[in-house]
Structures are given as C-alpha cells and as structure tokens.
Amino acid sequence: MEQELIEKITAYVMKSWAWAQANVLEPTRLIELAVIIVIFLLSKFACGRLHKGLTKAFGDHPVFTRLDRRFLEPVMVAAVSLMLMWTAILILQPFFHTYLLSIATSLFTAWLVIRLAVSMIANRELARLVAWVAWVIAALNIVGLLDPITAVLASARLPLGESQLSVLDIIQGIFTFAIMLWGAVALSDLMEKRVNTLASVPPSARELMNKSSKIILVALAFLISLKATGIDLTALAVFGGALGVGIGFGLQKVVGNFISGIILLVDRSIKPGDVIETAGTYGTINKLAARYTSVITRDGTEFLIPNEDMITQPVVNWSHSHRLVRRHIPVQVSYGSDIRKAMQLMVDAALEESRVLKAPEPRTLVRAFASDGVDLELRLWIEDPQNGVANVASEVMLHIWDKFHAEGIEFPFPQRVVHITHDMDTPPAGIMPGMEVGARVADE
C-alpha cells in the first residue's frame, strides 16, 4: 500500500511538472506572470498609501477602527488587483490567450469573497485561519488539483479496529468539528444573551440554562463530527469505560467541582449578585463557572473558590432570601450622662445616614451596666449589603461622635485609683529621705 501511494504521488508530481512546462514556462505565460506580479505590487503600494490617508482622516472614528482592525487593507488590495487584472485581460486578449491572468482573477475573486465572509467571525486569529484554509481549497479547485489530491488522501487508509479510516476522513472530521464547534459556541452565546434578558427567571436558573445548553451543543458537535468522519459510535463504549475509570482515579476534584457547580445552580443556595462570606472572604458573587465560583471583594480582589468548597464549607449568604441586613453598633456612655438622651441621639444619628432604612426603624437598647459605663447597642437595617456593611457602621458612629460631643454625652474610659499608705518616719525601700511621694496615682 505504501509503494502504491508513493507511485501515485510521483505520477501527480510528474503531471504537475508537465503542466507547468506547457502552461507557465512559455514566453506568453511568463509575460502574464510578470503582469500579475506588477499588478499585485502596484495594488499593495497604492492601497498602503490610501490606507494611511484614510487613517489620518478617519482614524478616530469607531466604525473605521473596527473595519481597519479586521480586513480593510486586504480587501482593498484584492479589489484593486481585480480591477487592474480585468483591465490587463481586456488589453492582452487580442494578442494571446490570457490563461494565467484568468486563473489569478479567479483566485483574487475567491480571496475577496472569503475575506468578506469571515468578517462575521469575531475572533481575529480564527477568522484568518478559516480564510486561509478556504482560499487554499478554492485555489486547488481553480487550478484543477483538488480532485487528484482528494483521491490521494482517500487512498491513504489507517486501520482502526475492524474498520479503516482514510486521511481524507480525518481531515473532513477535523473541519466538521471546527465548524460545528464554532456554530455551537455562537448559538450558545445567542441563547445566553436571550436568556439573560428574561427578568422573570432567577439568576441561578439562567446560569443553569446557559451552561446546560452550551454543554449539550458542544457534545452534539462532537458526536456529529465523529459520525461525519465515519467512526462507528458504538466503538466509543470501550473508550467511555476507560474514560470513566480515568475520571474516577485522576479527575475526582475536577468532576467534584463540576457536579458541585450544577448542585449550586439547581438548589439556588447562592446565585450571581449574592453577598456572601466564607473562609474569611467577603464579597459579591460575580460568576458561577463550571469549576469555581468568582467572588469579588470590596477592594476589587477576585477570589476563585472551588465549587466543592462552597458546598462543604460554611457560607454566610447575606442576601439569600432577601437583602435586609441588621447591623449592631455597641456604644458605651459614662454613668453621669443622660442615658435616655444618649439613646435618642443614637437613633437620630442612624437616621441621618441615607443607607439606613426608616422601616424597620433603628432602635437603641441598654445591654449592661458595666464597670466603666453603661453599654448601649444601636440596631439598624440596610438593604444593600453588596455596597459594604462596615462602611455604613463607620458613618453612623461618626454621627454619634458628633452628636455626643455637641450634647455633652461623655464616653467613659478606664480609670484606676491607687492609694499608697506608709509610715512617714520610715520611707519605703527605694525612696530617699526628702523625696515626695504621691498619695494617688491615676492610670488611664
């Protein structure tokens, strides 16, 4: 089989060389080749100067920036080359048959159409790859080499169990999978945008729908590609069993996080937008991915917490069923202060803060009669914990500070009075005669 393949390749090479001698190396064909090269270089130079002028004139315009980044200059070069080649054909046709110019015109037409078609692909590298592959196939078809190359690839077969798989089948399967995968991702993105507009659907249900649709579409793309390749899908039973064993031994954490992510989406214990606290991390859930949960803290740090930890570790959800959060602010006043007046001032200080809710209204309670003063506690409610819970307490405490100082309410501080008693005739050790000894020392 290898010897037969080598003989076929050799025959095609010799045939191509004979074609080149008959159609390219003739004087008239060399003239056409020179005309094609001059036209291309002239188009490249002219479009480069035109592109610089357009950049200076419309460089800041968003539409021009988008077109320029994608395909503006290549399309301009192909279009100008086509016009000049058609002009050259009209001029040279009365003298000889323009064989190479006709082929070049077809090639540039295919390139122009392909570049315009792949402009719908958002990824620049993928668009460039698709454009080059499509143009190579079109070029082989134009020069008449596509069928011979296809026959050679179809004759090269690889044994796969009881069946044989040709190189052409593998290439077709790869292209089919790439196209189907691109279509599946594009369709899932469209579905995701549509689902995200459904305000009546909870955020966790939207995430579950988006991820489920993407998984199903990618799986279908893979199965359709295998079917297009010619692989019997029943042969995947053994591979599926081996994959299951591999997952059981080597991918336990990955699969565990994936299943945990699905559980989190189904039971809706947490969802995007919730304010949570777990393992010392406090922040807002930004995204529920297949492997992790993204939590953004108040300082902008993004933590990627494994989904399995979100199920096995304690999680404080500040906005699970509602967004009402009550804050407790302890304050201590001295025994000489007016307690009832201090309690009212604390309520007034809370009401001055815009984030504090009027209903339920703030309240102040007497918690204890401590050794240094009376312990009071202000209780207030907020409904936007995603904006922080410590900062609102800080603002209310500043208002309390200002009001207490304005109304003469004292904050107590620890005081200790020590009385030292000794015989004046016999000074204590370390005290020199004539040294004055304080009778009371205050330690703050």
55-64, 178-187, 285-294, 401-410: least confidently modelled range? 55-64
d(CA 422, CA 429): 11
Q: Is 60 exceeded by the pLDDT of residue 440?
A: no
Confidence check: pLDDT of 1 > 60 = no
CATH of domain 325-410: 3.30.70.100
Stronger pLDDT, 436 or 260, i.e. the higher one: 260
Which range of 58-62, 263-267, 351-355 scores highest in mean pLDDT? It is: 351-355
C-alpha 309/C-alpha 312 separation (Å) is 5
C-alpha distances (whole Å) from 225 to each of 6, 121, 213, 228 are 30, 21, 18, 5
The CATH fold of domain 260-317: SH3 type barrels. (2.30.30)
In whole numbers, what is the pLDDT of the chain averaged over residues?
77
Instruction: Tally DSSP H helices, then E strands, for the chain.
Output: 14, 12
pTM: 0.46
Pairwise CA distance, residues 404 & 333, whole Å: 9
The more confidently predicted of residues 315 and 225 is 315
Rounded distance between C-alpha atoms, residue 80 and residue 88, angstroms: 12
Backbone angles phi, psi at 165, to 5 degrees: -125, 125
d(CA 113, CA 124) in angstroms, rounded, equals 17
Q: In this predicted structure, what is the pLDDT of residue 190?
A: 84
Q: Highest mean pLDDT range out of 3-12, 62-71, 289-298?
A: 289-298
**Total Cβ atoms within 10 A of residue 331:** 24
* C-alpha dist (Å) from residue 301 to 157, 315, 318: 54, 19, 19
Long-range contacts of 342-347 (CB under 8 A, 24+ apart): 342/376, 342/404, 342/409, 343/376, 345/400, 345/403, 345/404, 345/407, 345/409, 346/376, 346/378, 346/400, 346/403, 347/378
Of residues 421 and 287, more confidence is placed in 287
- Check whether 348 has a pLDDT greater than 80: yes
pLDDT in tens, 90-132: 888 787 777 777 888 888 888 778 777 776 666 667 677 777 7
Q: How far apart are CA 24 and CA 11, in angstroms?
A: 19
- pLDDT category at 331 given cuts 50, 70, 90 is very high
Q: Give tens-digit pLDDT for 189-248.
A: 888 888 878 777 776 677 777 777 888 888 888 777 777 666 665 655 655 666 666 666
Rounded distance between C-alpha atoms, residue 160 and residue 402, angstroms = 83
Non-local (6+) Cβ contacts of 74 within 8 A are 111, 115
Q: Percent of the chain beyond pLDDT 70?
A: 74
Domain ranges of the chain: 2-155, 163-250, 260-317, 325-410
pLDDT beyond 90 at 342: yes
C-alpha gyration radius of the chain:
40
Q: What pLDDT, on the 0 to 100 scale, is given for residue 400?
A: 94
Highest-scoring range by mean pLDDT, 37-51, 164-178, 299-313, 371-385: 371-385
- Of 16-20, 59-63, 308-312, 417-421, give the range with the top mean pLDDT: 308-312
- Cα gap 138→120, rounded to integer Å: 19
Sheet strands (E) in 131-212: 157-160, 163-166
Highest mean pLDDT among 177-186, 291-300, 316-325, 390-399 belongs to 390-399
Kindly state the tokens that stand for 232.
């019997």
Whether the predicted pLDDT of 280 surpasses 90: no
